[in-house]
Structure 1
Amino acid sequence: MHNLRHVRLAWRLLTRDWRAGELRVLAAALVIAVGAVTAIGFFSDRLNRAMTYQSADLLGADLRLTGAEPVPAEWIRSAADHGLRHVETLDFASVVVHGDKLQLASIKAAAPGYPLRGTLRTAPALYAAETDTVDIPAPGTAWVEARILQALGLAIGARIEIGSAAFTVTRVLTYEPGRGGSFFTMAPRVLMHRDDVAATAVVQPGSRVTYSYLFAGADTDLARYQEWLKTRLGPHHRLFDVRDAGSSIGRALGRAERYLGLTSLLAVLLAGVAIAMGARRYSERHFDTAAMLRCFGATQGDLVRLFVPQFLLLGLVASAAGCALGWLTQEAVFYLLREVYPVRLPPAGLAPVAFGFFTGLLALAGFALPPLMRLRQVPPLRVIRREMAPLPPAAWLVYGSAAAAILILMWRFTGSLLLTAAVLAGSLAAAAALAAFAGALLALSRRVHRRVGVAWRFGMNNLWRRTRTSIGQILAFGLVLMAMAVIALLRTDLLNTWQTQLPPDTPNHFAFNILPQNVAAMQGFFAANRIPASDLYPMVRGRLTEINGRPVTQAVTKEDDGNEAIRRELNLTWTDTLPSDNRLVRGAWWNNTATANPVSVEEKLAKKLGIEIGDELTFSIAGSERRAQVASIRSVQWDSFHPNFYMIFPPGALDGLPATYLTSFHLEPEQKPLLTSLVRAFPAVTVLEMDQVLAQVRTILAQVTAAVELVLLFVLAAGFAVLFAVLSASLDERFHEGALLRTLGAGRRQLRAAHFAEFAVLGMLAGVLAAIGTELIAWVLYTRAFELEYRFKWPVWVLTPLAGGLLIGLAGYIGTRRVVSQSPLTVLREL
């Protein structure tokens, strides 16, 4: 009965406070915070799953395992036990024969069900309209790429021989998901049925064959199977998924996930500030109530049992409302932008709702319990003496626990400890260092107050009179502006990166095996037909064998022992100029170095192998050894669809070695017939078409762009929640000040001007602090998390203070209208 009375009293106080508006600030902050977190969770979950599904089309599956030998049958049974679908393919090189003509080809033998993701595309004749298909070639037939038809002079219906078997060509293969290997080493493809491999007698013990096992299924099943499989993989196995860091899709998805995680992280930080402000105002307004209850005999335990149920009920209702708001918002936005997404989005799951709900309760508990513990410590004498006991030590323990829990939540949002630590450390360091700087700015502002009008002097005097409160407000507003500036900067630079990554004239064809004697004629062909093409680069094949006399395999860490650049021969080239999409990171180019036998190394490979300027590299090329000294290290834009290389030598360094040339070029659809003329003019040239890959990459980048645009809105909403909470937290004091000033003769217009001036100065000072914090955090994120080129962000230093002054000044002007509209007599009677 005793506990029941506490619950009833708590309910009555809760309903009374709600009707009086006491809880609306706190509830609004919590609803907006949970709504933002939930909506971002939905966006991240649905868009990532949609982009992952579509990216899987390029891989042909959700997961691909390759090896030089068949995998144990236990692995396949385990995949089925984990609920995964699977299909097997074989890749091997063989000669395709037609009459007296020969063509080296890459043969793929696929079982029914291939591919598990995406579709094959074929055409009934050379350069005819292509169509999607869910079938594979029937036994005894083959589908071939256009290059084989051109090289062998074939027509649909012709017979070709592969090993000991003959096949009828029934379709032209135009697109195949999961096409592996380097662009410059892929022979033209032949697709055949898996059951026909034995008849060819090509695959024998010791043959160079790549066995591929494709898997598809639910994300959780795939994750469990990957964990089971990774401990059993041998050195000759390789495991790929749609986020393979070597692909442009993997980089786009990785950056998108980091951006969405960052927005979630900043939303949580802003939500915490808003909830803290609302909880503090609520508790301060209940100090007198707690003191009166203590006078009537209530114990400290009674106060806890009275106020905790109120906050618990408030948290449950507000968190539920925030989750509903987040779900409705993302559903509405996805509906309005349904034409942007060419694929059907997966349905919303329950995980974002559960996580948003839990985040709301945790944030409320972390920031509301310390003020509640102060209510528990309110002395009865407060009814007479306006004193307040200091914050009890137990409250600091609660603050510490809440901070640790929120740190874990941030880690969950970003999936990156480095990203979480960078933003959090940057924010805390900025807050600690800039708090003193804010005080200094307030002191410096005293020198200008005599040169401004009465309203501005009055507003600035308010800031100096409440120095501690003003510094806290500057930091809160600075955090809001800093979060918005960081997100806006990343949004702009990410979009610019993605838009410039694949411009309309991006090369969609590669031409390689160009003979040296045909280089001038090839350039003339491009010029005569107005075909935009990259430079023609010579290419020889070589393997890096030693670094400073030490075998290269000893320089590779266990995590990188499957790196393609180490396990196979590299494409080596020479040029006298730095390629346009390469940038020198360290060292100097040929005309500025005295290094003997110089070579330039790609940055990421150099980092993995510990290669530094001045190191000696040994290469095995065409049966001979060549040594070179590292003169420079370059960053390379691998996803530019231009020819790029791990190693570049100066002209003359590889003289005497057999070389062919390669280039990339762009063809419009109406120029496609020129390919036939090109192949006829240069029979040895191999042309690789990349149109389908480019189209799919552009589609995925468009979806990523839409996600980046949309989640920015929720960070802004969380920022406005902080503004609302900060303004509301100081309303009580402003009511009393306004009543006194109006009693002494101040007019409403004068008070409103003073409020605008006060908040405008607050906003400008917060903008200066935000610019400093933004510059520091942006440098860390650009260089460490997003792999973007960093430059000094001078617009931030101009726009952020101006935007802060205008935005916060207007918000303060609007938020304090009630101060001048309420009767002074009514306010003074409440004192």
Structure 2
Amino acid sequence: MLSSRDFRLALRFALREMRGGLSGFLIFIACIALGVGAIGGVNSVARAITLGVSNQGQSLLGGDLRFELNQREVTEAERGFLTGLGEVADSANMRSMARVMDETDQTLVELKAVDQAYPLYGTLRTEPALSHADLFGERNGVYGAAAPDILFQRLGLKVGDSLKLGGSTFELRAQILEEPDLISDGFGFAPRLMVSLDGMRASGLIQPGSLIEHAYKVRLAQGASEGAITTAREQATQQFPQAGWSIRSRLNAAPSLSSNIERFSQFLTLVGLTALVVGGVGVANAVRAYLDAKRPVIATFKSLGASGGFVFALYLIQILIIAAVGVAIGLLIAVAMPFAASAALQGVLPVPTQGGVYPGALMLGAVFGILVTLVFALLPLGRARDIPATALFREMGFEQRGWPRLIYVASAAGIAVVLAGLAIALSFDRKVATIFIAAMVFSFLVLRAVGALVQWLARRSPRVRSTALRLAVGNIHRPGALTPSVVLSLGLGLTLLVTLALIDGNLRREISGNLPERAPNFFFVDIQSSEIEDFSSLISRESPDGKLVRVPMLRGRIMALNGVEVSKVQVPPEGAWVLRGDRGLTYAQNIPENGSLAEGEWWPADYSGEPLVSFAAQEARELGLKVGDTLTVNVLGRDVTARIANLRNVQWESMGINFVMVFSPNTFAGAPHAWLATLLESNATNADEAQLLNTVTRTFPGVTSVRVKEALDIVNKLVGQLGTAIRAAAAVALIASVLVLAGALAAGNRARTHDAVVLKTLGATRKTLITAFSLEYLLIGLATAIFALFAGNTAAWFVIANIMKLPWRFLPDVAASTILIALVLTVGIGLIGTWRVLGQKAAPVLRTL
């Protein structure tokens, strides 16, 4: 333990020694800055978006409170309660088919109907700017409509043209430029079409059982507090326990977006942490190289009576000061990222993002940067503490073996545990974060073992005749070899890239290749019970070789599990989606053909007892449900409690008709509902599908037809954009790997210079040395690439096959590109660093031996 006097002395010497500048620490600083900038910047952007949602919550939600109901409107009592809270704006959302006037073309649209009070907050911007009456009102029996530019382009229309919707004609009177509450309606696969509520009712699209969502947005008294909002929600739940409505407030206007932003920022934070850990290897290399250069100074200090603790404190102070420089640069990068993201995301997210400084996010990056520095700097500093002055004067380098004192090992391990615990504790999904951290630690240990194995194999390899190859093999296992550092740093970065590339490649292959072959050609929604037989007959005539599957469909919300309200049930994030929002429901006498029983028994065909339900097996496990448990669902404003009779394996990847919950037929006897159908015709051409779509739309204008190929194209585009963003983020870790590789080469240049000069003195030519160094880097890079391929394939297989439940396939192009990247980086950077070494004059170097 140093006294305050010794500490002040160590600080004075540390500052004095640093007058020479930061030479030799540029890689150190770059690694820390890169990781800190990535972590601080990603979290700053996430908080900027979240803050934008929070600040604009009223406009994004469309009110202070939003009550949503499926397949029904509010009762008079419920309406009275809502109007008692404040001003109410009604809207309704559903999917439908919009057709050009001659019915030669049509497209799926996200239909939104609004009343005269819309919008309560924000502004609906259109071109031209019109009042509600002029925009949506009736003129000569034709209602008005507005749509974004994409709908005009898709149907080849312009402002003033008309289109058909259901049984009515609508005039497109304006183009939508900005819809204030767009994000609160959720993500849509089709263009928006906005009409009035009167216009929607006149179209005949609203039928018993239609899949329509009614939203009632309430503006509370001006200045209403968060407490008032909470009180209103509680009153709504208490007074109308069976309403089954979903209630959102301005405090959480876009929960899906917020949770997705949190998940994505968590992933990018973990990637940034990986970059920091990779950079930590560079920190360790830089510290070792620095201490090696300071060997005479350390020996002098000890010869003059300085204690080991004094030496440790002196150089720890210097390392922390240098780390602070890297952290400061990283924080400057992080501060700039929200401003850059604000401009980049403006046309992508309908959320007001604004630049700003977010201390919490910056503090997180800074703390991670300092902790990583300490983890990787303590061990080499601890070794320097215990080396006697006589050894320092005799030895040529800091290549001592063995571990430092236990206190330094324990301190480094303890800080590493704190680092991992902090990353997990601050994560949105702690399970995923734990797996990620565990995988990173495991990869770190395995890569150390791989480096040792490569050296062991090189040490025991047979003697070869080639001088260059013999030198290369010797360089791989000699004391102070680059092998451990290169394998460790480059291996982590390449493994991450391989994993993400294989996941992205398999997803793209599944969506664009295998999935369309198995998926149906069409989904048909909102087929009325009175139309189902005529609809089936039409499909049989138009597609005689097609397979039509039809099932009844309702929508309901899970209200309770085993009598406990879902709001009080703790479930893991992977299962929470089942309880969030409304789910599609059906009933059936027999087991669905694309499912199989996992546990329990199916009910008899003539069953008439208590309501029973078949639950998807995987989702049941995630929710902690088992056969015999009960769940309560709200359907059409009525709570229904059913007992789980069996668990069912569901093939979600088939894209056929699948439901989490299938009820016994007696459960919804007499309840109004529509039908859902799929059509599979493997030999149908694009022209056949277009003709069928046109025929169905003209004959049954109220039926919504979804062409699966078009939906898959949109999904494939989204997956591509997401994959590009993820690979760009993962490239941060690879850049850190390259920096560490360059740093390792720089740290080893002194020993390599001595080797090159001695070999040249003994007759070795420059060609021989370049060949030897090239072969050395080639062998190390190849070993690293092989590990990265194996580890990346294993990780990607686990994600695709076990988490996403999709077919897995090895992709040779990813393997080839990985090997190529590894070899180019190791050989290229290695030769760049070596070229200067080969140009050294022999005499000055020989004098120092």
Provide TM-score, normalisation by structure 1. 0.67
Q: Which residue of 1 aligns with 2:101?
A: none
1:539–1:659 CA contact under 8 A, matched in 2: yes
**Pairwise CA distance, 1:822:** 1.1
- The structural deviation recorded for 1:633 is 0.8
Q: Structure 1 residues 413 and 789, CA, compared in 2 at 3 Å: closer, same or farther?
A: farther
Q: Which sits farther off after the overlay, 480-489 or 444-453?
A: 444-453
Matches within 5 A, 1:5-84: 9-16=13-20, 18=22, 21-41=23-43, 64=66
Change (3 A) 1:562 1:724: closer
User: Which residue of structure 2 aligns with residue 312 of structure 1?
Assistant: 320
Q: Choose which of 347, 350, 356 in structure 1 pairs with 2:354.
A: 347
Using a 3 Å threshold, how does the CA distance of structure 1 residues 625 and 321 change in structure 2: closer, same or farther? closer
C-alpha distance in structure 2 between counterparts of 1:577 and 1:334, whole Å: 48
1:769 match: secondary structure: helix
Compared CA separation, residues 270 and 127, structure 1 to 2 (3 A) = farther
Give, in whole Å, the separation in 2 of the partners of 1:648 and 1:57: 38
Residue number in structure 1 paired with 2:202: none
Residue matched to 1:791: 808
Residue 551 of structure 2, aligned match among 535, 538, 547:
538
Q: What CA deviation, in whole Å up to 9, does each residue of 1:536-591 have, x standing for no partner? A: 5131669999xxxx996589883479966999992235899856xxx87969999x
What are the Cα deviations for residues 503-554 of structure 1, in whole angstroms up to 9, with x where unaligned?
99997983421523212444279769xxx99945131669999xxxx99658
Residue pair 2:59, 2:180 contacting (<8 A) in 1 also? no
- CA 1:346–1:180: 2 relative to 1, 3 Å: closer
Q: After superposition, what is the alpha-carbon deviation per residue over 1:360-391, rounded to whole angstroms, capped at 9, x for unaligned?
A: 33322333344334444443333544496951
1:746 is aligned to 764
Are 1:600 and 1:633, in contact at CA under 8 Å, matched by a contact in 2? Answer: no
Q: Cα–Cα, structure 1 residues 543 and 229, in superposed 2: closer, same or farther, change >3 Å? A: closer
**Alignment-derived partner of residue 290 in structure 1:** 298
Counterpart Cα distance in 2 of 1:226 and 1:533: 53
Aligned equivalents of 1:559 and 1:808: distance in 2? Answer: 49
CA contact (8 A) 2:616 2:650 kept: yes
1:162 maps to none
2:659 aligns with one of 630, 645, 652: 645
SS of residue paired to 2:586: strand
Q: Distance in 2 between matches of 1:498 and 1:365?
A: 45
- Residue by residue over 1:44-73, the C-alpha shift from the partner in whole angstroms, topping out at 9 and shown as x without a partner, is 556777899999999657985669987999
Partner amino acid for 1:313? I
Name the SS for the 2:525 alignment partner.
Answer: strand
Structure 2 residue 737 is the aligned partner of structure 1 residue 722? no
Q: Is the 8 A contact 2:469 2:772 kept in 1?
A: yes
Q: CA deviation at 1:308?
A: 4.0
Give structure 1 stretches of 5+ with no counterpart: 78-85, 94-104, 134-145, 157-172, 194-207
Tell whether the 8 Å contact from 1:264 to 1:413 is kept in structure 2 after alignment.
no
Q: For 1:768-791, what per-residue CA distance to the aligned partner results, in whole angstroms no more than 9, with x for missing partners? A: 22233323433454467x646362
Amino acid paired to 2:428: G
Pairs within 5 Å for 1:68-467: 88=88, 113-114=119-120, 123=136, 130-131=146-147, 150=166, 178=184, 191=197, 238=246, 256-257=264-265, 259-300=267-308, 302-304=310-312, 306-325=314-333, 341=348, 346-351=353-358, 352-386=361-395, 391-411=404-424, 414-433=427-446, 435-436=448-449, 438-444=451-457, 453-466=466-479
- 286-295 vs 114-123, which deviates more? 114-123
SS at 2:355 equivalent = coil
3-state DSSP of counterpart to 1:770: helix
TM-superposed CA distance for 1:331, in Å, is 6.5
Secondary structure at the aligned position of 1:488 is classed as: helix
How far apart are residue 459 of structure 1 and its match? 0.5
Return closer, same or farther for 1:433/1:189 CA change in 2, 3 Å cut-off. same
Which residue of the partner structure matches residue 570 of structure 1? 585
Q: Secondary structure at the match of 1:347?
A: coil
1:816 maps to 2:829: no
C-alpha distance in 2 between matches for 1:679 and 1:110 = 30
**Residues 525 and 705 of structure 2 are in contact (CA less than 8 Å); yes or no, is this contact kept in structure 1?**
yes
Q: In the TM superposition, what is the alpha-carbon distance from 1:731 to its structure 2 partner? A: 2.1
Map of 1:602 onto structure 2: 616
Corresponding residue number in structure 1 for 2:157: none
Report the Cα offset of residue 399 of structure 1: 0.4
| Paired residues of 1:604 and 1:635 also in contact (CA < 8 A) | no
Question: In the alignment, is residue 661 of structure 1 matched against residue 680 of structure 2?
Answer: no
* Secondary structure of 1:323 counterpart: helix
What displacement does 1:719 show?
2.0
Following the alignment from structure 1 to structure 2, what is the Cα–Cα distance between the partners of residues 470 and 32?
A: 24
Which of 736, 758, 768 aligns to 2:786? It is 768
- Residues 368/648 of structure 1: CA separation in 2 closer, same or farther (3 Å cut): same
In the alignment, the residues of structure 2 paired with residue 427 and residue 307 of structure 1 have an alpha-carbon distance, to the nearest angstrom, of 29
Task: Give a deviation string over 1:322-345, Cα, whole Å, max 9, x none.
Answer: 33345568867987x689747687
* Residues 90 and 209, structure 1, Cα contact 8 Å, conserved in 2: yes
Cα distance in 1 for partners of 2:570, 2:646 equals 24
Q: Any conservation in 2 of the 1:61–1:115 contact (CA below 8 Å)?
A: yes
1:350 partner letter: V
Does residue 517 in structure 1 map to residue 524 in structure 2? no
Residue 143 of structure 1: aligned partner: none
Match of 1:141 in 2: none
More moved, 321-330 vs 43-52? 43-52
The percent of aligned pairs where both chains have the same amino acid is: 20
- Whether the 8 Å contact between 2:586 and 2:663 is mirrored in structure 1 is no
- Structure 1: distance between partners of 2:692 and 2:221: 39
**Kept after mapping to 1: 8 A contact 2:91/2:215:** yes
Q: How does 1:473-552 map to 2 (within 5 A)?
A: 473-493=486-506, 510-513=525-528, 515-523=531-539, 535=548, 537-539=550-552
1:124-166 deviations in whole A, cap 9, x for unaligned?
6769661589xxxxxxxxxxxx999855x6989xxxxxxxxxx
Please say if residues 472 and 776 of structure 2, whose CA atoms lie closer than 8 Å, have aligned partners that are also in contact.
yes
Q: Per the alignment, in what secondary structure is the counterpart of residue 764 of structure 2?
A: coil
Contact 1:323 1:357 in 2 (8 A): yes
Query: Is the CA contact (8 Å cut-off) linking 1:462 and 1:758 kept in structure 2?
Result: yes
CA RMSD of aligned residues (A): 6.6
- Quick check: 1:43–1:711 contact (8 Å CA) kept in 2? no
CA contact (8 A) 1:35 1:326 kept: yes
Worse overlay, 63-72 or 757-766: 63-72
Deviation at 1:761, TM superposition (A): 1.0
| Whole-Å separation in 2 of the counterparts to 1:603 and 1:396 | 47
1:140 corresponds to: none
Contact residue 562 and residue 629 of structure 2 kept, 8 A: no
